[in-house]
Structure 1
Amino acid sequence: MNGTPFRGRRIVFWRHGQTAWNLEGRFQGSTDIPLTEDGLAQARRSARLLAALRPDSLVSSDLQRTAATAAALAAVTGLEVTHDSGLRETYAGVWQGLTNTEIQERYPEEYRLWRLGEPVRRGGGELNTEVADRAVPVVLDAVKALPDNGTVVVVSHGGTIRMAIGRLLGLDPYHWEALAGLSNCCWSVLGEGARGWRLQEHNAGTLPEPVLGDDV
């Protein structure tokens, strides 16, 4: 052994910046909403931090809020962005555009079951497992193209990121909600371990710190 610790490949899931519908508490789903000026500033700030990770590739949902966020990182790294509709947020049918209060008032039973973790087609849209079915292959294809110890930044949406992380960690879908949501322009990091993926950072807004101690 040469004493160099195994790091493996790394996936950085990065949520898009702020939108007007985020501020209004509206369920966006796959509706194509742009970033606010604050959202663009968030993307530029986070991009400067993430560039220090020296990512090897950059893939993004094709919706404009994620595309604009990814463009900020591309500008400081020189990476090309690969856009893929498989990374879009959950399609939520008639729930899209409604506030949380409006959803509870109009669809109380559907909302109740969803909060209990039951498989629900919110608004007549996609199941959580169907979102993972389309998003995770995009992520794994990007991982396969990485060099040893390489890093891919995946720019996506809060719900899609949660479902992708849950699937990659091998969690039962019922437990995916145990993963808290991401703030705008924050990220989560999965690292490749000897027995699969490990969650190294979650909802971070600063660069990952090395783990010091016995849990390596």
Structure 2
Amino acid sequence: MTEILLIRHGETAWNARKRLQGHLDIPLNEEGERQAAALGRALREQPLDAIFSSDLQRARQTAQAIAAPRGMEVQLDRGLRERCYGAFEGMLYGEISQRFPEAYAAWQARDIDARFPQGVHVAETLREFAQRVVSTITRIVSENAYRRVAMVAHGGVLECAYRHAQGLGFSHARDFDILNASVNRFTWDGSALQIAQWGDVAHLQELEAEALDEVDRG
């Protein structure tokens, strides 16, 4: 049995503004760096056999905050990247609906085979993305005899893993949170993914306490 800590990267400026990132390489903002540091402290005593990350810097920075205190290396895997949204990338959600109304409607309807207009990158369909995510996660744990491994990725990656483990298609409304810097625990028994714990952000409570303390001192 392998335990997988599937972690979403910390906050970016584009997350805060609801600007779609996809494959565009956006770094953590100051809050995201604080979240990553808190995550690293919380997991410092957690034994890990390996740490994998998407190669996009918002995930790499988050993974490095986990790896550095324990002297481990981060192994990069492009298969853990966010979905590629083509021409949608870099746009605010409201801008997408105005410029590409039909494609936006297909996105909101979770059309699994819709391919959005090409931008800097060629967009992936939802079906292609989900297959990539699940095959990457299962490949990593199947090729190695890990007892516990961390994978730092993106919101869309977490959603695909959740739906796969729960047997939920994309026609089912998303009724679960996908939080920045959250720890989401799965198990892999050699044939199936199962969710053990979802959306753990207890480690971020210290940041809320620090913010309140700053207000009090102000």
Matched, 1:32 2:25: yes
Q: Do residues 115 (structure 1) and 111 (structure 2) align?
A: no
| Contact kept? 1:162, 1:181, Cα under 8 Å | no
Q: Which moved more, 1:129-138 or 1:71-80?
A: 129-138
Residues in 2 aligned to 1:123 and 1:16: alpha-carbon distance in whole angstroms: 26
Q: Distance in 2 between matches of 1:183 and 1:199?
A: 16
Output the CA distance in 1 between the equivalents of 2:157 and 2:140.
16
In 1: Cα distance, 2:117 partner to 2:62 partner: 27
- 1:57-72 to structure 2, matched below 5 A, reads 57-72=50-65
* Matches for 1:1-216 after TM superposition, within 5 Å: 8-119=1-112, 120-124=114-118, 125-144=123-142, 145-147=144-146, 150-175=147-172, 177-178=173-174, 180-192=176-188, 196-206=192-202
Partner amino acid, structure 2, of 1:146: A
Shift of 1:136: 2.5
Q: How far did 1:167 drift?
A: 3.0
Change (3 A) 1:122 1:183: farther
Match of 1:214?
Answer: none
Contact 2:47 2:148 in 1 (8 A): yes
RMSD: 2.2
What's the secondary structure of 2:44's corresponding residue?
helix
C-alpha spacing 1:129/1:52, structure 2 compared with 1 (3 Å): farther
Q: Which moved more, 1:45-54 or 1:84-93?
A: 45-54
Following the alignment from structure 1 to structure 2, what is the Cα–Cα distance between the partners of residues 195 and 146? Answer: 14
Conserved? CA contact 1:91–1:126, under 8 Å: yes
Instruction: Give the CA deviation at 1:192.
Output: 3.6
Instruction: Measure how far apart 1:140 and its partner are.
Output: 1.8
Compute the displacement of 1:86 (Å): 1.2
**How many residues were matched structurally?**
197
Q: TM-score, normalised by structure 2?
A: 0.81
Counterpart code for 1:139: I
Displacement of 1:60: 0.4
Moved more, 102-111 or 88-97: 102-111
Q: Alpha-carbon deviation of 1:206?
A: 2.8
Q: Which amino acid aligns with 2:14?
A: W
Q: Deviations over 1:158-215 (max 9, x none)?
A: 012211332344433434x5363422111211124698322122221137xxxxxxxx
Q: TM-score normalized by structure 1?
A: 0.82
